Amino acid sequence: MRWTLKPKPSQEKVKHLASQLNVDEIVAMLLVQRGIESFEQAKTFFRPSLNDLHNPYLMKDMDKAVARIEKAIANEENILVFGDYDVDGTTAVSLVSSYLKSYYPNIATYIPDRYNEGYGISYKGIDFADDNGFSLIIALDCGIKSIDHVAYAHERNIDFIICDHHRPGNELPNAVAVLDPKRDDCSYPYDELCGCGVGFKLIQALAQNNSQTIEDLIPYLDLVATAIAADIVPITGENRVLAKFGLEVINSNPRPGIKALIQNIKKKVLTITDVVFIIAPRINAAGRIKHGNEAVALLTEFDLAQAEIFASEIEQHNADRKDFDKQITVEALSQIIENNEKENFSTVVYNENWHKGVIGIVASRLTETYYRPTIVFTKSGDKLAASARSVKDFDIYNALEACAEHLEQFGGHMYAAGMTLKEENYLAFKEAFEKIVEQTIHPDLLIPEISVDAEIELSDINEKLIRILNQFEPFGPQNMTPLFLTKNVFDTGYAKQIGSENEHLKAFVKQENSSSFNAIGFKIGNKYDLVKNQKKFDAVYSIEENEWNGNVSVQLQLRDIK
């Protein structure tokens, strides 16, 4: 691990904010690091309000999208709500379809089959619309590059409204409306929405036309918060507002489908992290193992008993997904060792029998192991399909663009992408990708980085600090859980390795003039020798409240020690 202490912001700004807010300088420094420098900005950060949401009509083409949907309703047309099979896509389809169905019956949903149709808008989906009398398709979380597909639909007198958040190409599809805040010609004030977030802006615009207020849309925010968490978009601006209020819905009155997924969770209050690790993988498992339709069925079901049946089926898919994931990761790691590729700048592996639904997860596992840009291929029909994952600060999308001559198609963003190629081009692509990564990656990026917010003493940790840190939530990209560095701490004599394979570290730490704190370090049990016999060490950690048997205590979660 590379420890990087974030640059200290201007002391003048920190002191000014600390006095304005009547908070400790540590808190003021954390805020200034996040771009919060005034009382008003701090108020918006600590007290997000639904009134902070932008007018949806500021998004390019929103007026056209709403006009076309209202025309369809007036003419009693059939509307097909189409979306990708991942969490962002299935939540977006559930959101828009259930909103429209609340006042118009001729609505159906379509999720492409991961294996037969692949990512995004499919010809099969358009044929389905054509065969079943649909004259309007609303595409969510996909479609920004589907120029040929939209033209194909146009020939069949089917209109498209595209709601996407991926980077557009040089040409936009010839749709009735293209809602994408990343369009160069779109001046919408916030461009980090996920696909479900763009879908939410669409229903917000429709709601305004239906004389509804933002309060009427609160029940839909559990879906939006789930998508924001799963899609790893920045928790800033509108996303922060939507995530905060969406989490409140998840914790107080979630839709039956989400309730069925979380009712056995012991925690009183679920956080964004819980959504990422508990709710999202289960919703994703439907599309990975069986079909994304199952996720939409769960998320749009209003009968709790039926939702529980759907949830138990999805729970089984998730268990199967874990088995595939473990097995393929072991096989991929042995392939890297057999091919003598441990020292490469990239990881590219392939096995025609690997389950296509879990190669993205396996790519993430391999990135954790060797910490370098990683691509995992499997056979998909007569081509190879792959999922790519990157390391912090390396743009894997740009690297793929540089190797585009070997690919059939690719799409994604800086840290994750998907692609297909012809089998005969696999080795040439693998060689080209390795070469481009070697030429463009900075050596430091091949060492995992821990970005530390501030160096503090253990004596700085008090109830007020913890209370304010809790208000920094929800955490996520660009508002990560604050990490602190404290030097010369020591264990009071209780340190031990825990876990079935001694993989975790438990300690009771203090400094010479401080109280002692309970500490837990997941996956760093191998560093026990640095802690035993009351040796002094430096620690990077986050501060959290640990709830056990109804008692709440402060706990340091050790991220690394030296």
Give per-residue pLDDT as tens, 65-83. Answer: 999 999 999 999 999 999 9
| Distance set, CA 376 to CA 352, 369, 385, 436 (Å) | 11, 14, 8, 17
Above 80 in pLDDT, residue 263? yes
Residue 549 confidence class, pLDDT cut points 50, 70, 90: confident
Residue 267 confidence class, pLDDT cut points 50, 70, 90: confident
User: At CA 265, angle to CA 220 and CA 297, rounded to 5?
Assistant: 40
The top-level CATH class assigned to 56-312 is alpha beta
Above 90 in pLDDT, residue 381? no
Residue 169 confidence class, pLDDT cut points 50, 70, 90: confident
Residue 412 confidence class, pLDDT cut points 50, 70, 90: confident
H or E segment to which residue 179 belongs: strand 177-179
Predicted pLDDT at 348:
97
3-class state of residue 218 by DSSP = helix
Could you give the CA distance from residue 118 to residue 89 in angstroms, rounded to a whole number? 13
| Distance set, CA 3 to CA 7, 269, 538 (Å) | 13, 31, 11
**DSSP E strand stretches across 344-424:** 347-350, 374-380, 383-389, 409-412, 416-421
Predicted pLDDT at 119:
79
Helices (H) and strands (E) in the chain, counts: 19, 19
Of 221, 174, 216, 212, nearest in space to 194 by CA: 221
Predicted pLDDT at 204:
98
Q: According to CATH, what is the number of the domain 339-446?
A: 3.10.310.30
Residue 157 has phi, psi (to 5 degrees) of 60, 35
Lowest pLDDT segment from 160-164, 309-313, 414-418, 428-432: 414-418
Residue 116 confidence class, pLDDT cut points 50, 70, 90: confident
Predicted pLDDT at 104:
97
Residue 352 in tokens: 């025609």
CB atoms within 10 A of CB 154: 16
Residue 35 confidence class, pLDDT cut points 50, 70, 90: very high
Predicted pLDDT at 367:
95
Pinpoint the residues of the chain covered by CATH 2.40.50.460.
2-47+450-561
Mean pLDDT, residues 122-131 taken together: 97
Predicted pLDDT at 190:
97
Strands 449-452 and 2-5: parallel
Amino acid at 26: I
CB atoms within 10 A of CB 214: 15
Above 80 in pLDDT, residue 22? yes
Of 368, 412, 322, 365, nearest in space to 376 by CA: 365
Higher pLDDT, 514 or 69: 69
What distance lies between CA 559 and its chain's CA centroid?
21
| Distance set, CA 436 to CA 155, 425, 430 (Å) | 41, 16, 10
Determine the topology of domain 2-47+450-561 in CATH: OB fold (Dihydrolipoamide Acetyltransferase, E2P) (2.40.50)
Pinpoint the residues of the chain covered by CATH 3.90.1640.30.
56-312
DSSP string of 93-145, one letter each residue: HHHHHHHHHTT-S-EEEE---TTTT-SS--HHHHHHHHHTTEEEEEEES--TT
